[in-house]
Amino acid sequence: MKWYQKLHWKIIIGLILGLLWGLFSSVVGWNQFTVDYVRPFGTIFVDLLKLIAVPLVLASLVVGVSSLNDMTKLSRMGGKTIGIYMITTVLAITIGLSVVNIMEPGKTLPEETRTSLMESYSENLEDRDEAAQELTERSPLQFFVDIVPQNVVEAASDNSNMLQVVFIAIILGIGIINIPLQKGEVLINFFDSLNEVIIKIVDLIMKTAPYGVFALMGAVIVDLAGDDLSQALVLLQALGWYCLAVLFGLFLHVSIVYFSLFKIFSKMRLRDFLKAIQPAILLGFSTSSSAATLPVTMERVEKNLGVDEEVSSFVLPVGATINMDGTSLYQAVAAVFIAQALGMDLTLLQQLTIVLTATLASIGAAGVPGAGIIMLVIVLQAVQVPVEGIALILGVDRILDMARTAVNVTGDAAVSVAVASSEGMLGDLHFDDE
Q: State the residues that interact with ligand ASP by CB under 6 A.
A: 288-290, 324, 327, 365, 367-372, 401, 404-405, 408
Report the residue number, 88 or 290, with the smaller CB distance to ligand ASP: 290
Q: How far is the CB of 203 from ligand ASP (least distance, A)?
A: 23
Q: How far is the CB of 406 from ligand ASP (least distance, A)?
A: 9
Cα separation, 58 vs 37, in Å, equals 34
Give DSSP secondary structure letters for 404-417: HHHHHHHHHHHHHH
Q: How far is the CB of 373 from ligand ASP (least distance, A)?
A: 6
Report the residue number, 38 or 363, with the smaller CB distance to ligand ASP: 363
Cβ contact 18:214 at 8 Å: yes
Cα separation, 317 vs 313, in Å, equals 7
Report the residue number, 117 or 371, with the smaller CB distance to ligand ASP: 371
Report the residue number, 43 or 115, with the smaller CB distance to ligand ASP: 43
Cβ contact 202:7 at 8 Å: no
Q: How far is the CB of 411 from ligand ASP (least distance, A)?
A: 10
Q: How far is the CB of 404 from ligand ASP (least distance, A)?
A: 5
Q: Is 307 helix (H, G, I), strand (E, B) or coil?
A: strand
Give DSSP secondary structure letters for 194-247: HHHHHHHHHHHHHHTHHHHHHHHHHHHHHHHHTT-HHHHHHHHHHTHHHHHHHH
Q: Phi then psi for 239, rounded to 5 degrees? A: -100, 15
Give DSSP secondary structure letters for 283-300: HHHHH--HHHHHHHHHHH
Give residue 430's region: left, alpha or beta (phi > 0; psi -120 to 50). Answer: beta
Report the residue number, 128 or 404, with the smaller CB distance to ligand ASP: 404
Report the residue number, 26 or 327, with the smaller CB distance to ligand ASP: 327
Q: How far is the CB of 82 from ligand ASP (least distance, A)?
A: 18
Cβ contact 396:235 at 8 Å: yes
Q: How far is the CB of 50 from ligand ASP (least distance, A)?
A: 12
Query: Minimal CB distance to ligand ASP: which residue?
Result: 372
Cα separation, 90 vs 84, in Å, equals 10
Report the residue number, 170 or 274, with the smaller CB distance to ligand ASP: 274
